[in-house]
Structures are given as C-alpha cells and as structure tokens.
A and B are shown apart, each in its own frame.
Chain A
C-alpha cells in the first residue's frame, strides 16, 4: 500500500501520543486505533498501516528474544533478564525460544542488536576465515 507523506506524519503524531514516560502504552494504542477507525478518515488505512509499523518497531526495540539449543534453567533466565534490564532499561519483554539448530550456546536479539554466542555462529565465523 502506498502511504503518502501526510499519512506518515499523522501516524507519527498518533504514535507519539501513545508514549507514556518513553514507553508504549497498550491502552493508548487501542484507543487510537478505535478512534481512527471511527473517524472513517480518507487515509484511515494508510495511517493505521504506518501506525502499526511504528508500533511493531517499538515493540521489537523493547523485546528480547533469547534463543538457545536447550531449555534455559530458571536461575539462568533470571540472570539473563536482569542483565538485559541493566543494559536496556526497564520495560523489556523477554521471550525464551528453544532452537536445537544452534547446536549449543545462546543467541540474544534486542531490537537490531544481536549477541550471538551460539556454536552455529562460531562455526559460520570459522568457515568464513577458511
């Protein structure tokens, strides 16, 4: 869908309204969507589409995805969460995923930052060196 500049600008303004103390407020987001749909604006679809993209990016920025070859024990989970909160601040949602393809180690992604300590990444790096 082609999103014109006006729709982009308005979506950004609406997105800003949804931030409370720098964090995205779910209630505000729902309220904005409801009101835009109710207003039946000509660019409604474009605005909401851009708004949805901004929300998605913001959520990704505050979501930590932790992938590991085996299940992470609870004490290690707590330690990882504490470490990530220290680095990225409060409001971080953590998701733990089991991915045997990593062979061993762990891969953590927060927004566009990736910390890859998996065996698979190590092997890939070694392959590149050879």
Chain B
C-alpha cells in the first residue's frame, strides 16, 4: 500500500502545474479517412495530431488557413467541430530485436495476440536516407536459395532488387523462399557457432493484401521456422488507405534500426503497386493535383525516398545494411506502365516473372533474358561465379537457337549440343516453392551440368538426377560441401575432389539405370 501511495504521489508531482502552450484547431471537414482542420497554425508536416477519443492523425497538407490530415485510427469516433491539437511528435514506430517473430500494424502495435512488444526505442517513420559519405558498395551476398537468382541475378546486401510480374506468377514465393533461406543460414550459423557470420533479419511488409493471404504467409514462415528472424508489418486490404501508404515506411524504419546498429536486414515490400494506389487515394481526398493515371505528381518521390533508405553503410558507420526487395504487379505483362517504369528506374535491378513460363512449368518463372542485377555480381560467392559465369550467355544462346530450330530439323552437332545443354539448364533451374537450396549444393549441381555430367541424362530425368546428386552429396560428401562453403571458391584441388565425387555418383547412377529391376522400381516411384 505504501508503494502505491508513493507511486501516486510521484505521478502527481510529475503532472505539470504550469499552463503549457498548446496549439489547437477545429475539425472543419471529415470523411473517407481524411480531415481538414482549421487553425493548428504551428502544425508541422508529418506531425502527429491528437484528434481526441484516442484517434491520431498525420499532417500531410499545410495550407494557408487549414491543414489536411490523414486519420490513422477509427474516424467514426470523430465529429466535425471537434477539437484537434498538435503533439510536437513525428509519426514513430517501435524498433529493435523485440519485434522479431511478431506481427505488427503500421503503428508498430502487435496484432498477433502475443502480448505487448518489448521495445524501448522508436524511430520516425519518415527518415532521410543515408548520404553518400555513409555508404559503401555492395560486397556481401544475400543467398536467396533460388538457383537461377543466386547463379545469374545475384543480390547483394544493401541492394534494391525489384520483383516484377503479373498476378499469380510467384513474386511473393520468391521473397518467402529468400526469407526461409536466411532463417536456415542464421540457424546453421548459430548452431555452428560461426563468429564471423552476419545474420540477416527479415521484414515482410504486406500492403493491401487479403487477411487470409497474410495469414498464409505467416503460417508458411512459422512452419519453416523463419518467424524468429522475421518481422511482419501487416496493412491489409481492410485497413485505411493512409495505413497502406504508411506501412512500407514503418517497415523501413524497423529495418533501419538493424542497419544503424551494424546488423543486416532484408525488407520485402509486398507490393508497391498497392501502396501507390493507396497514396493516390489519399492524395485525391486531400485534393492534391493529379497527374498521369491520376497519381499525384510526387509518386516517384514516394518510391524513391522509400527505396533510397536501403543501403550498405561503411565500416565507420557500423557496417550494417538494409536490402530491399520491392514487388510490383503488372497488368498483362505491361512493364511500361507508370509505376513499374518508375520503380524499375529506382532499383538496382529487376527479376521478371512471366505467366507463360509459369504455365509451361518453369517455376520460378523467371525470364532470365530480361532480368538483371546491376550491383549484385560484385557480391556473388567466387565459387558460384566460377561455375555460373557463362550460364546467362548459354541460356540466351539456347533460347535463340531453340526459336530458330523450330523451323527446321537439320541441325549441326554443335547447335544440337547447345540446345541439349540449354534444355538441361532450364530443367535444373526448376525448383519447388519454399525449398531454398544451399549455395554449396547449387555450386555442385551447376558444376556437374557445366562439365557435361548431365549431357547423357534424358531431359525428363534431369530433375531426378539432380535430386539424387543432392542426396548423395548431403549424405556422403558432407565434408566436401563444407569445404566449398568455407573456401567459397573452387581451387584445383577442390575441383579434383569434386570430379572424383561426381564421377562416383555418376557410376552409381549408371549402374542403377543398368539394373532392370532398379530401373523398373525407379520408374514406378516416379
């Protein structure tokens, strides 16, 4: 009881007795999540406004006699003529490791029913991106675990790689795979006690998606054990346009905390098309002038200021990084629309996903020809560079020759060989979802293809060969895999070991094929 009294006395003593100056205004117009407030002469841009009844607003328009405010809570609790007051605070969200494993809304409030978030730090939602002096070039890879990406479109820590494609082409899956891959690597490094390993934490920002879709993503991450390294910022389709527009910025603030504290983070914006649409809605309600496709004039700045916050900072500034993977949904493959072209020009590369490839069974449906990574190759593991250096060119040649070969049957041996190799490369790049492949396995498989070990394998059985090879290496060549992982390059000695191991596997594969019973059994299994 004594403690309680002391606490009450302390609270009373803490309460300000002097009349502090407040800046107030009157709500003049209200509706559709937007309010116009007369007065508030001291209001700042992006300042939080207390609208009463526990509802908060964010100042977006400063006009001569009034301010335009987007309402972040339930606007049905407010009335025209009500009083609003400035708070002197910019919109902030909690940050820190306490958010890992949690699902939060745009204000950083938990929505997963797991209790309050343990965080004593906050970051402003809108923050200036790191300047030129603080930055350094990208030099460390993000292992996505997706073979075509790691081999041909490598992503580096601090890069901004756009994932673009039509609906239902596997854009989100690529990002989830990447997050699962990071969780596996983080766990393995923790278990192995690797001191030099830099864990990569993930932030998934769901913008304007169905609640069921968000729930599905969370359950996939939970099943894969990736949630302890992931923060989910959820702003579903039922949230207000203001929340949807602010969600990526809130996620970026959470990611920046990791970067500022010398850690690495990856942020997925799923997707920025919906954010642009939400921003258009807010802008039109605030009566801002509209431009192309009715988007406001600053829609480019909306995305550029968001994506510029992804960076790799120098050692002097903590050596942290924030990698961004924005997603853009196109309509009927039209990448020349307004928002896609904007985001393509801002990012450091893009991964194009195609509906045709998806339905042909090429999954992930990446169009390697027009997908690029502008800075990631500097961060690629040397071993991967050694084995996959020529892959992109070979695939491009294959596509050209395959198109040409459709019109004639007489092909010279060299052309036929190129086509055959190309078909096998396409096959090995097919990968089931939520099953990222470790980089050392990728190196072994690609090395085997490049050295002609799959040339005699029928195209229909390439995947079987790959699976068996993977199984063989993970069970019987663990040390060799560890060597590749550790050395990160294929030396002559390693090459010889690799050759011996793959030769041994090829022998068993041939023997198995030669035994009729086994072949029969394999066929039945297939």
Q: Which residues of A contact B (CB under 8 A)?
A: 53-54, 57, 60, 105-106, 108-109, 111-117, 121-122, 125-126, 129-130
Contact = CB atoms under 8 A, between A and B. Distances in A.
Contacts of B74: none
Contact of A113 (B18, B23, B38): B23
Contacts of A122: 15, 17
A110 to B, nearest CB: 10
Contacts of B85: 114
B114 interface: no
Interface in B1-29: 11-12, 14-25
Nearest to B18: A117
Interface of B: 11-12, 14-25, 38-42, 65, 85
| Interface of chain A, main secondary structure | mixed
B39 to A, nearest CB: 4
Nearest to A126: B15
Contact of A114 (B16, B24, B38): B24
A112 B42 contact: yes
Contact of A57 (B17, B20, B38): B38
B40 A129 contact: no
Contact of B22 (A57, A105, A113): A113
Given A126-B11, A126-B12, A116 B19 contact: yes
Contacts of B41: 111-113
Given A116-B19, A125-B16, A130 B39 contact: no
A57 B65 contact: yes
Nearest to B39: A112
A57 B14 CA distance: 36
The 8 closest A-B pairs by CB, nearest first: A117-B19, A112-B39, A114-B22, A115-B19, A112-B41, A126-B15, A114-B24, A129-B11
A54 B65 contact: yes
B222 to A, nearest CB: 38
Contacts of A129: 11, 14-15
A121 B17 CA distance: 10
> Which of B16, B19, B25, B38 is packed against the most chain A CB atoms within 10 Å?
B19
B6 to A, nearest CB: 14
A117 to B, nearest CB: 3
Contacts of B12: 126
Nearest to A130: B11
Contacts of B17: 122
A126 B11 CA distance: 8
A57 B85 CA distance: 17
A113 B16 CA distance: 18
B479 to A, nearest CB: 64
A106 B18 CA distance: 11
Contacts of A121: 19
Contacts of B11: 126, 129-130
A125 B18 contact: no
Nearest to B28: A53
B23 A114 contact: yes
> Which of A54, A105, A109, A112 is packed against the most chain B CB atoms within 10 Å?
A112
B82 to A, nearest CB: 14
A121 to B, nearest CB: 8
26 contacts: A53-B65, A54-B65, A60-B39, A106-B19, A109-B24, A111-B41, A112-B23, A112-B25, A112-B40, A112-B41, A112-B42, A113-B22, A113-B23, A113-B24, A113-B42, A114-B23, A114-B85, A115-B22, A116-B19, A116-B20, A116-B22, A117-B18, A122-B15, A122-B17, A126-B12, A129-B15
A57 B40 CA distance: 12
A3 B315 CA distance: 57
A113 B14 contact: no
A126 B21 CA distance: 17
A121 B24 CA distance: 14
A120 to B, nearest CB: 12
Contacts of A109: 24
A114 B14 contact: no
A114 B86 CA distance: 11
A130 to B, nearest CB: 6
Contacts of B24: 109, 112-114
A15 to B, nearest CB: 10
Nearest to A107: B19
A55 to B, nearest CB: 11
